[in-house]
Amino acid sequence: MPRLESWERLKHSGLIMQAPSQAPENITLTERGRQVARTSDINEIMARTNLRREMLHPLLRASVYDGFAAGHYDTAVRHAFVIVEDTVKADSGIKTEIGVKLIRSHSIRPGGRWPI
């Protein structure tokens, strides 16, 4: 049973597929599978697949998700912080503060929710 689960996970992750023009039990690596095989850190590749675009707030889906999916984590995080900061500034009307000071000066809305 664990072997079947492993095959299904590889297939679901887009790493393997049925070999073209072959019997259903013949499988081959996809292009993504070949990329993973060349990469020494399978955990990093799998982490990227665990974050789906629809999981993010609409404001974060474009630049943040694309950067993360491409492995540019520092850029993705920086973009996310800029988007959050700009949204908090617009929502709060606070124009003179930035970064941590801005976030600390803007209280959380009733119910514990941020404005975005």
Coil, strand or helix at 27: strand
| pLDDT attached to residue 40 | 61
Contacts of 83 (CB under 8 A, 6+ apart): 59, 60, 64, 116
Q: How confident is the model at residue 90 (pLDDT cuts 50, 70, 90)?
A: confident
What is the tens place of the pLDDT at every residue in 24-81?
A: 788 898 888 888 777 767 777 677 777 888 889 898 888 888 888 877 889 999 999 9
Average pLDDT value over all residues in the chain: 80
Residue 95 has pLDDT above 70, yes or no: yes
Q: Does the model's pTM come out above 0.75?
A: no
- Beta carbons of 38 and 53 less than 8 angstroms apart: no
Contacts of 95 (CB under 8 A, 6+ apart): 89
| pLDDT attached to residue 75 | 92
| pLDDT attached to residue 97 | 85
Coil, strand or helix at 17: strand
- Beta carbons of 29 and 37 less than 8 angstroms apart: yes
pLDDT higher for 2 or 63?
63
CA 99 to chain centre: 23
